Chains A and B, each alone.
Chain A
Amino acid sequence: MGFKRPECLTKESMHYCPGCGHGIIHRLIAEVIDEDYKENKIIGVAPVGCAVFIYDYFNFDFVAAAHGRATAAATGVKRSIPDALVFSYQGDGDIAAIGTSEVIHAATRGENFTAIFVNNGVYAMTGGQMAPTTIPGQVTVSSPYGRDPKVQGYHIKLCEMLVPLDGVAFVARTSIHNLKNIEFTKKAIKRAFELQMNNEGFSIIEVLSNCPTNWGLSPCESMKRIENEVLKYYSLGIFKDKGRGI
């Protein structure tokens, strides 16, 4: 069996910058759906940000939400069609700044959908401004002297915040900076979807990703930056898995 395009991806060329991690993460979601949910109803909830056109790349239904509101919109979607596999796809600015309230409360209510949270540490689409996830010392166009926790505060660790909430079934932080972690990300998505379809509650996967354009690095250098710098602030792993007692 050769390497081929997953069936649930359209033939549309993606608009992402060269070397961007969104393409990899889209593919992983597509592979999981092809492998396990071929016959299922699927509804994606699109964010505002770099992945705003995600609905063009998958050949199933999507609801495009306002900035930060994807988890609220996904709540309305999943409650309306409880037997569908529903996931929101959101960047760090979207889910960890303007949408913090929506995600915390969707998680608290135990809404039965999966949030895929792509963390590249910047507001990428608007030109690389500081995000809530920007790590200390990181230079961005709106933290030109580097993020100083005394001035701009610390980076937000959303996964760690969500773990104690009773409505949450699954929390993982993964990365796509090398093959081993790409595989781990796919496994985490698989598990989150599985728990969702078992009606276990809210699931979230934070995927550490890169932004070569706004980081000012080549695609390869940007992957190394995840390994060498980002991982110091964001540990990887499965933080919660209700089904397995983690």
Chain B
Amino acid sequence: MKILMKGNEAIAEAALRAGCECFFGYPITPQTELLQYMAKKLLKSGGVFIQAESEVGAINMAYGASSCGKRVMTSSSGPGISLKQEGISYLAGAELPCVIVNIMRGGPGLGNINAAQSDYLQATKGGGHGDYKVIVFAPSSVQEAVELTMKAFDLADKYRNPVMILGDGMLGQMMEVVEFDDSYQPQKVEKPWAVTGDRKREKRVTNSLYIVPEELEKHNLKLREKYKKIKENEVMVEEYLADDARVIFVSFGMCARIVKSAVNRLRQGGEKVGLVRPITLWPFPENELKSYASKEEVEFFIDIEMNLGQMLEDVKLSVEGKKTVHFYGRTGGMVPTIQEIMDFYYSLKK
């Protein structure tokens, strides 16, 4: 059945269908409807909902509940995610699953509450202290946000790692038609590490402290192996009209939808352009971009973002200098228009 839902609420509903048992959050625009939806639904279904005193409190409650083997979610936006970084580092260090939603707003500092992609670097490069990675999904529609949220819970459990849904204010606030897959069943994962207080077995401890340097290095190398496995298995990317393209646009999230419209219009005008849209921002689709960079007919790349080029380094690293990568972005909560993107393209073709 198709229903009309606001992005934030659709993500919350998807989480509930994915078996989310505990939600800890703190209000911040533009993600607050997610928290409100959880407040309405989770307590009634016997789950745990707490509006925490702060984002710091919320992420550490999530840490505690995840330690107990529960399916846990927390959500916020830029400034709140900055506060959660400490807890995210601990979750990654202790190898605890958790789904974290970041509906981005403009930054730095208080910035504003408009749609922006200002947290790419924070989300994909660790954000908190230490050598760790978070799986980052960047949906470009409410329907995709629903599907990725469900997948996020399964992957968080599978890899014992935090997974972030990185949307922007537009995705959180807009209403779109969505369809929930009623046949979806959350994957049941054994958690032989979960702290339950049971005293009839060996004790269990969730922890990220390895005081002996050799042991911490061993732990970090083990994490690296896990991240390698994630990179091998979990990359998701959409390639749109890119097969025969001479110019490849790269863009993620809602911004990529605008680029897609620009690609369609440019194609109508006879321009051979295509779009590569990373769905997972980490792991980044390096190999896919590299293969386009190696094609003789590809002249150059254009990276379009709603920031000042936070993904640009990843695109350039993937292209490995084989082709030029141009950048066009709007910041401060401004959204690029189809016309702007087309004009930028034509200015490069001159």
- Contact check, A72 vs B205: say whether CB atoms are below 8 A apart: no
Whether A77 pairs with B65 at a CB distance below 8 angstroms is yes
B308 interface residue, CB < 8 Å from A?
Answer: no
Contact yes or no, B203 A79, CB < 8 A: no
B48 within 8 A of A: yes
CA distance A46 to B64 in the complex (A): 11
**In the complex where A60-B203, A102-B57 touch, is A65 in contact with B198 (Cβ < 8 A)?**
no
CA gap between A80 and B23 in the complex, in Å: 11
0 or 1 for each of B38-68: is its CB under 8 Å from A? (1 = yes): 0000000000101011101110111111111
Complex contacts, A104 vs chain B, CB 8 Å: 53
- Determine whether B221 belongs to the interface, using a CB cutoff of 8 Å to chain A: no
Considering only residues 123-174 of chain B, those with a C-beta below 8 Å from chain A are none
B208 touches A (CB below 8 Å)? yes
Q: Are B60 and A76 in contact (CB under 8 A)?
A: yes
A189 contacts B by Cβ under 8 Å: no
Evaluate contact between A76 and B196: CB separation under 8 angstroms.
no
Contact (Cβ within 8 A) A69 B199: no
A153 to B69, CA, bound (A): 43
Cβ of A210 < 8 Å from any Cβ of B? no
Main SS of chain A's interface residues?
Answer: mixed
CB nearest to B197 among chain A residues: A41
A148 within 8 A of B: no
Q: Choose the segment among B86-94, B271-279, B332-340 that binds chain A (4+ C-beta atoms closer than 8 Å).
A: B86-94
Q: How many angstroms between the C-alpha atoms of A84 and B67 in the bound complex?
A: 14
Q: Of residues A65, A85, A101, A104, which shows the largest number of chain B Cβ atoms within 10 Å of its Cβ? A: A65
Task: Report the minimal beta-carbon distance from A94 to chain B, rounded to whole angstroms.
Answer: 13
Asked if A63 CB lies within 8 Å of chain B CBs, one says: yes
- Residue pair B205, A62 in contact (C-beta under 8 Å): yes
Contact partners of A59 in chain B: CB under 8 A: 203
Which residues from A are CB-within-8-Å of B204? 61-62
Whether A101 contacts B62 by the Cβ 8 Å rule is: no
Q: Flag whether A230 is at the interface (Cβ < 8 A).
A: no
CB neighbours (8 Å) of A101 from chain B are: 53-54, 56-57
B90 to chain A: closest CB distance in Å?
5
| A76 B206 Cβ-Cβ under 8 A | no
Whether A66 pairs with B87 at a CB distance below 8 angstroms is: yes
Partner of A72, one of B64, B94, B199, B203: B64
Which parts of A55-102 form the interface with B (CB within 8 Å)? 55, 58-66, 69, 72-77, 79-81, 84-86, 101-102
In angstroms, how far is the closest chain A Cβ from the Cβ of B231? 28
B3 in contact (CB, < 8 A): no
Shortest A90–chain B CB gap in Å is: 13
Task: For B203, list chain A residues within 8 Å (CB).
Answer: 55, 58-62
Min distance, Cβ A67 to any Cβ of chain B, angstroms: 9
Residues of chain A within 8 A (CB-CB) of B67 are 63, 73, 76-77
- 0/1 interface trace, chain A 108-139, chain B, CB 8 Å (1 if under): 01000000000000000000000000000000
A66 to B204, CA, bound (A): 18
Which residues of chain A come closer than 8 Å to B61, judged between CB atoms?
A: 72-73, 75-76, 79
A80 to B191, CA, bound (A): 15
Contacting pair B64 A63 (CB below 8 A): yes
Interface centre among A39, A79, A80 (most CB of B within 10 A): A80
Cβ B195 vs Cβ A43 within 8 A: yes
Which 10 pairs of residues, A with B, have the shortest CB-CB distance? A76-B64, A41-B197, A72-B60, A73-B64, A76-B65, A105-B53, A64-B207, A84-B197, A80-B68, A69-B60
15 contacts between A and B (CB under 8 A): A41-B197, A42-B197, A43-B196, A60-B197, A61-B197, A62-B195, A66-B86, A66-B87, A69-B56, A69-B87, A77-B68, A79-B22, A80-B64, A84-B196, A101-B57
